[in-house]
A = this chain, B = another copy of it.
Amino acid sequence: MDRVPVLKLGDILIVSIQIDLQDQSVLALQEDLADKVVQTGARGVIIDITAVEIIDSFIGRMLSTIASITRLLDAETVVVGMRPAVAITLVELGLSLGGVRTALNLEKGVALLNHLDGARLAVAPR
Residues of A within 8 A of B (CB): 1, 3-5, 7-10, 14, 16, 18-20, 48, 50-53, 81, 105-107, 110
Contact of A7 among B3, B10, B16, B53 (CB under 8 A): B16
Measured CB to CB, the nearest residue on chain B to A5 is B50
Assess the B81–A10 pair: CB atoms within 8 A.
no
Residues of B within 8 A of A110 (CB): 9
Q: Is the interface of A mostly helix, strand, loop or mixed?
A: loop
Bound Cα distance A110, B16 (Å) = 18
Residues of B within 8 A of A5 (CB): 16, 18, 48, 50-51, 81
**Shortest 9 CB-CB contacts between residues of A and residues of B:** A5-B50, A16-B16, A5-B51, A7-B106, A18-B18, A9-B106, A1-B51, A9-B107, A7-B48
Q: Which of A1, A16, A53, A105 has the most CB of B within 10 A?
A: A16
Bound Cα distance A81, B50 (Å) = 21
Residues of B within 8 A of A52 (CB): 1
Residues of B within 8 A of A50 (CB): 5, 7
